[in-house]
Every structure is written in structure tokens, then in C-alpha cells.
Amino acid sequence: MKTITRDFNRLRVQVSPGEILLEEFLTPAGLTQVEAARRMGVPLNRLNEIVRGRRAITADTALRLAALFKMTPEFWMDLQTSWDLHHARLAMKKAG
């Protein structure tokens, strides 16, 4: 029997957690960043920097996003971890 393995990380197109937040959650829900930040109880610049890919999703933010969208904080942390690992792999490859 032959075993086929695949490097799924190589096949997957990486999308930032902020882009997923904007395109898959905020926009479909009809929420502006201003309204989402207000509901989450965070400063607008925190949410905007996440959307723009300039800030990571922390555990605190994951809890707040989970409450806002009625889902688990692990979803948001997993997105961030996947994004961080992708960039770490790129850095290692570039360093040789």
C-alpha cells in the first residue's frame, strides 16, 4: 500500500486574520469597524490595525471577537497562529 503525503501549508494561500475578519465577518454582518470596536469595547485603532495586517489578534481580542460573532476564541487564535507560522517559515526559508 502506498502512502501519499501532502504539504498542505505549501498548497494553502495565506490570508491575514484581519482580511478574514473584514471580508468574512464584518462586511457580511453589515458591521463597520467603528461599530464592531464599540461592541467589543476596544479602541477603533486596535481593530483597524488588525484589519490592515499591522497588529496581531491577541487572546483578549480573540475573546472579544468570539463574543461578538458567537464563536470560539480558538478560531481567532488559530488564524493568528497559522499566519505567524506562515511568516516564520518564509523567514527561515529566506535565511537559508
Q: Which amino acid is at 23?
A: E
- The answer to whether position 52 is within a domain reads yes
Cell 458567537: give the residue.
70
- The answer to whether position 69 is within a domain reads yes
Q: Which domain holds residue 54?
A: 15-95
In our burial notation (b when 16+ CB lie closer than 10 A, e otherwise), range 30-40 reads ebebeebbeeb
- The answer to whether position 4 is within a domain reads no
Q: What pLDDT score was predicted for residue 11?
A: 42
**Residues of the chain above pLDDT 70, percent:** 86
Q: DSSP secondary-structure letter at 41? A: T
Element (H, E) at 82: helix 73-95
- The answer to whether position 77 is within a domain reads yes
Asked if residue 88 has pLDDT above 70, the reply is yes
The pTM is what? 0.84
Q: What is the mean pLDDT of residues 74-88?
A: 96
- The answer to whether position 7 is within a domain reads no
pLDDT category at 96 given cuts 50, 70, 90 is confident
- The answer to whether position 3 is within a domain reads no
Q: What is the CATH number of the domain that holds 59?
A: 1.10.260.40
How many structural domains does the chain have?
1
pLDDT in tens, 6-50: 454 454 558 999 999 999 999 999 999 999 999 999 999 999 999
Q: What pLDDT score was predicted for residue 21?
A: 98
